[in-house]
Amino acid sequence: MNQDIRALSYAEALREAMAIAMEADERVFLMGEDIGVYGGAFQVTGDLIERFGADRVMDTPISELGGAGVAVGAALGGMRPIYEFQFSDFAMLAMEQIANQAAKMRFMLGGAVSVPVVMRFPAGSGTGAAAQHSQSIEAWFAHIPGLKVIQPATPHDVKGMLLAAVADPDPVMIFEHKLLYKMKGPVPAGHYTVPIGEAEIRCAGRDVTIVATSIMVHRSLAAAAELERENISAEVIDLRTIRPIDRQTVIESVKKTSRLICVYEGVKTMGIGAEISAMVVESEAFDFLDAPILRLGGAETPIPYNPDLERAAVPQTPAIVEAARRLVTAKA
């Protein structure tokens, strides 16, 4: 491995990105509950309080609405805050500041101001945290004009996309799947960015397109490897950004493979897969489809505590494999 590329965990890559941003720009500071001495609910901020001090790594009271309001106000005042929610579920308490203030200020003031705030959301199931701490609500945010919403799936991308988010003049919401924090991968040293709004083809294929987000990218890649042994070639697209969506990458892939599966952890109804499906149907790719589009999303239920039920409530690799098998033999 190149000496400038190290194997870092997803959490380590995030921490490194925040440190780089803080070293480069004194306007960047961190806010959140227990992000200081404790190091964050998932130990992402780690030792940053020791490196940058309590004035720039700020523990906030247990008030998501208040913390988000301070972050939005600081961004309006010229700072570049990064605000961490302990769990993405708790963002529901702060939607007034996110959806009615941060998302709309630039529009309502005719472009005279920007709101360069980054908000971080540990999201998703798989940790046994039950119904109020395990949701995938990124589609809520993607529905709101004025917000950018990203879901990096790898340590490389989470570092580069966080640095891109800090530099962005508009509010960026970054959803980090909790099961990814310990996942390791190659990460270049120093500053680099991964563009917001660009998908990545993780695996080229000819028979079916699988568009996936977050941890579902890894489950889709595992499915693609199994399908390859059956002579079914799956193209896996890591969407990376769900607002704005990289429309062209998806459409060109579907035109090539003529089949589409959307895989995401959020509840299936009105989830990101519905938007991707509609986008394809409304495009020139529709005439290339040889089978109905399939959506694999979360079950219509709160996330259970029981580990077997929890796994059953969101797509797993075997379900992706079975969906692809069905699709390649289906007729339009």
Residue 264 is part of a domain; what is its CATH number? 3.40.50.920
pLDDT of 133 reads: 96
pLDDT tens for 126-136 read 999 999 999 99
Question: Which pLDDT band holds residue 3 (cuts at 50, 70, 90)?
Answer: low
Catalytic residue among 33, 64, 138, 176: 64
Q: Are residues 263 and 320 in the same domain?
A: yes
Q: Work out how many domains the chain is built from and give that number.
A: 2
pLDDT tens for 241-259 read 999 999 999 999 999 999 9
Domain boundary (138, 163, 188) is at: 188
Q: Are residues 157 and 27 in the same domain?
A: yes
Integer Cα distance of 212 and 219 in angstroms: 9
**Which domain range does residue 310 map to?**
200-329
Is 16 a residue of the active site? no
Q: Are residues 171 and 102 in the same domain?
A: yes
Integer Cα distance of 236 and 214 in angstroms: 12
C-alpha separations of 208 from 21, 128, 256, 310, 329 in Å:
39, 33, 9, 28, 11
Query: Quick check: helix, strand or coil at residue 212?
Result: strand
pLDDT tens for 175-221 read 999 999 999 999 999 999 999 999 999 999 999 999 999 999 999 99
272-281 helix and 247-257 helix, angle to the nearest 10 degrees? 70
pLDDT of 214 reads: 98
Q: Are residues 50 and 73 in the same domain?
A: yes
Q: Are residues 176 and 269 in the same domain?
A: no
Residue 330 has pLDDT above 80, yes or no: no
pLDDT tens for 286-308 read 999 999 999 999 999 999 999 99
Alpha helix segments (H runs only) across 8-47: 10-24
Catalytic residue among 133, 156, 177, 218: 133
pLDDT of 251 reads: 98
Q: Are residues 277 and 169 in the same domain?
A: no
Domain boundary (188, 221, 243) is at: 188
Q: Are residues 178 and 210 in the same domain?
A: no
Closest CA to 121 of 83, 159, 165: 83
